[in-house]
Amino acid sequence: MTLYLAGGNPSQALAPVLDAFVKEVRGRGDRVAIALLGSPDEAAGVLDTYADPISSRFPEALIEPIWLTDEDDEPIQWPADPENLAGLVVAGGWAPGYLEALTSWREMISTLVRRGVPYLGWSAGACVVGRHAVVGGWQSGGRQIAPEISGEGSTELDIRDGLALIGPTIETHADTQFLIGRALAALRQGPMRSVAVIDEGAALVVDAASGRTSILGRGQVTWASNEDERFFVRFEPREQSAPTKQ
141 located within any domain = yes
Q: Taking the chain, what is the end-to-end CA distance rounded to the nearest angstrom?
A: 16
Q: Is the pLDDT of residue 35 over 90?
A: yes
pLDDT of residue 41: 87
Q: Which domain holds residue 172?
A: 2-236
The Cβ-side half-sphere exposure at 185, using a 13 Å CA radius, reads: 22
pLDDT tens digits along 171-223: 999 999 989 999 999 999 989 999 999 999 999 999 988 889 999 998 899 99
242 located within any domain = no
pLDDT of residue 243: 44
pLDDT of residue 74: 64
246 located within any domain = no
245 located within any domain = no
243 located within any domain = no
- Is the pLDDT higher at 227 or at 158? 158
- Please tell me whether residue 58 adopts helix, strand or coil conformation: coil
**What is the rounded average pLDDT of the residues 29-42?**
94
Q: What is the CATH number of the domain that holds 16?
A: 3.40.50.880
**What is the rounded average pLDDT of the residues 7-35?**
96
Question: What is the pTM assigned to this prediction?
Answer: 0.92
Residue (of 216, 225, 220) closest to 244 by Cα position? 225
Q: State the total domains in the chain.
A: 1
pLDDT of residue 72: 55
Give the whole-angstrom CA distance, residue 67 versus residue 37. Answer: 6
- Residue 106 backbone dihedrals phi, psi, to 5 degrees: -55, -45
pLDDT tens digits along 66-125: 999 866 556 678 888 998 999 999 999 999 999 999 999 999 999 999 999 999 999 999
User: How would DSSP label each residue in 73-128?
Assistant: TS---PPSSGGG-SEEEE--S-HHHHHHHHHTTHHHHHHHHHTT--EEEETHHHHT
244 located within any domain = no
Residues for the chain: how many in total?
246
- Is the pLDDT higher at 75 or at 162? 162
Q: Is the pLDDT of residue 154 over 50?
A: yes
67 located within any domain = yes
What lies within 8 Å, CB to CB, of 40 at 6+ separation is 65, 67
pLDDT of residue 227: 83
185 located within any domain = yes
